Amino acid sequence: MTKNTETVSEGAFSPAYRYYALGLLVVVYVFNFIDRSILGILVEPIKQDLGVNDTMMGFLGGIAFATFYTFLGIPIARLSDKGSRRNVLTVCLALWSGATALCGLAANFFHLLFARIGVAVGEAGASPASHSMISDMFPPDRRATALGIYALGIPIGTMLGNLSGGWINEAFDWRAAFFVVGLPGVLLAVIVRLTLREPPRGAAEAIEVKTQEAPPVKEVFKYLWARRSFRLISLGAGLHAFVGYGVGYWIPAMFSRSHGYGTSDMGIALFYLGFASIAGTFLGGYLGDRMAGRDLRWYVWLPGLATIISVPFSAYVYLSDSPFAALWVLAIPYFFGAYYLAPTFSLAQGMVGLRMRALASSIILFIANIIGLGLGPQFTGIASDVLFATTDLGQDSLRWALVLSLIFNVVSALLYLGAGRTLKEDLEASKSFN
């Protein structure tokens, strides 16, 4: 392999520019989740207009999206590791934004399906490229904080997607909602291309990049899967997402069936609960960096303990007869449930060589979304139907299906805690791949 004479140092960019770049990437991620989540709030008007059923809408928002999002994430991440991450991000942003706008032109279900596949393909390239760039701009002791700030795009985007989609649909129609949220992303892509600079690989660690070429995908997979802590963290993140996507999808239905809540009331409640997720996402990264300064294992201990803490409060929410109390208590699992995001992706970046970073993120996203987005909502739905058919729980079957899903949260926490046994050795081993 050829040598790269590129000089790298943490001072490659000024602090002001680094935080500008981070802020811009957060905005991109907000748009990512606005465009991803807006479909949920528009299910009913789309069903009525296009004449489709719940099964078709479930396929549109779940399996169809998850399949393309997860399986294309790895080859797109490969492009990020081999070339310009900024350019990959620019193209992906323009693609998913344009595809979101095209959803508003759909004349039938299949037009909408193909447009949403375009959204999935574009969004598949966003996080791996962004994670890699952030890791080259912020040193390891501040990386989880930076990635925690980046991850704020998830709750903020989801909150804004629900609010904007619902309001625009009522003021105009569902097609206008896709136009309004999609088209600005195309302009944002131009801003990314013109103002975001490609950071030198290894800049934050002040180390020299030994090769200009990314290692083969097979080599990266083999290396990562040989790291015990990476296996446990990946599976832990997948099971955490399994519960998170399942709860996120079914919690409005649970409050409707068991407490008589309407969709508008639930939408407002979920908006305010989003602030708990924002706080947890940021603190998960910030506290991870602070506590890992004393012991690196806090990067996995913190999400493990936070998940364990959330379990009894979640059970109370699902089984409580008081909807008011349940909504207040729901803020606790929303808060602690977001702790795992920043430490997980920070560790993935620190555990691999410089030209493996985008692919490492894509692998974790692959596992998390196949297990979480693809299977989480499905499991809860099946469990609810089985309990409804075999017990006398009636409409409360969904409550107990959600309680059953908490088993996977416990397993997720144990996996994170177990990853601490070999974490230090696995992080140290990555230095030989730069």
Cα(370)–Cα(129) distance, integer angstroms: 20
Q: Please report the pLDDT score of residue 274 as a whole number.
A: 85
pLDDT tens readout for residues 212-225? 566 676 777 777 78
Cα(303)–Cα(368) distance, integer angstroms: 15
By residue count, the chain amounts to 434
Residue 215, classed as helix, strand or coil, is coil
The torsion of the CA quartet 183, 189, 192, 195, rounded to 10 degrees, works out to: -80
Instruction: Work out the mean pLDDT of the chain and round it to a whole number.
Output: 82
Q: Please report the pLDDT score of residue 58 as a whole number.
A: 66
Q: Could you give the number of structural domains in the chain?
A: 2
- Would you say residue 238 lies in a domain? yes
Percent of the chain scoring above 70 in pLDDT: 88
Residues 139 and 256 in one domain: no
Cα(102)–Cα(181) distance, integer angstroms: 11
Residues 198 and 232 in one domain: no
pLDDT tens readout for residues 320-348? 999 899 999 999 999 998 888 778 877 77
Cα(375)–Cα(309) distance, integer angstroms: 24
Per-residue pLDDT band at 5 (split at 50, 70, 90): very low
Q: Please report the pLDDT score of residue 38 as a whole number.
A: 82
Q: Please report the pLDDT score of residue 46 as a whole number.
A: 84
Of 203, 230, 264, the residue at which a domain comes to its end is 203
Average pLDDT, stretch 413-431? 83
pLDDT tens readout for residues 42-57? 777 887 788 876 566 6
In the block, residue with structure tokens 């609010």: 163
- Would you say residue 5 lies in a domain? no
CA dihedral sign, ordered 38, 44, 48, 52: positive
Q: What is the pTM of this model?
A: 0.72
Residues 37 and 169 in one domain: yes
CA–centroid distance for 286 within its chain: 18
Distances 208 to 9, 203, 212, 237 between C-alpha atoms, Å: 9, 8, 11, 31
361's tokens: 């993120």
Cα(65)–Cα(76) distance, integer angstroms: 16
Q: Please report the pLDDT score of residue 212 as a whole number.
A: 53
The answer, yes or no, to whether residue 241 has pLDDT greater than 50, is yes
pLDDT tens readout for residues 279-314? 998 888 888 888 888 888 898 899 999 999 999 999
Per-residue pLDDT band at 18 (split at 50, 70, 90): confident
110: CATH: 1.20.1250.20
pLDDT tens readout for residues 166-200? 788 878 888 999 999 999 999 999 999 999 888 87
Q: Name the strand (E) or helix (H) holding 160.
A: helix 153-171
pLDDT tens readout for residues 76-88? 877 777 778 899 9
Of 203, 228, 257, the residue at which a domain comes to its end is 203
Q: Please report the pLDDT score of residue 1 as a whole number.
A: 36
The parent domain of residue 409 ranges over 213-434
Residues 156 and 219 in one domain: no
Cα(422)–Cα(233) distance, integer angstroms: 11
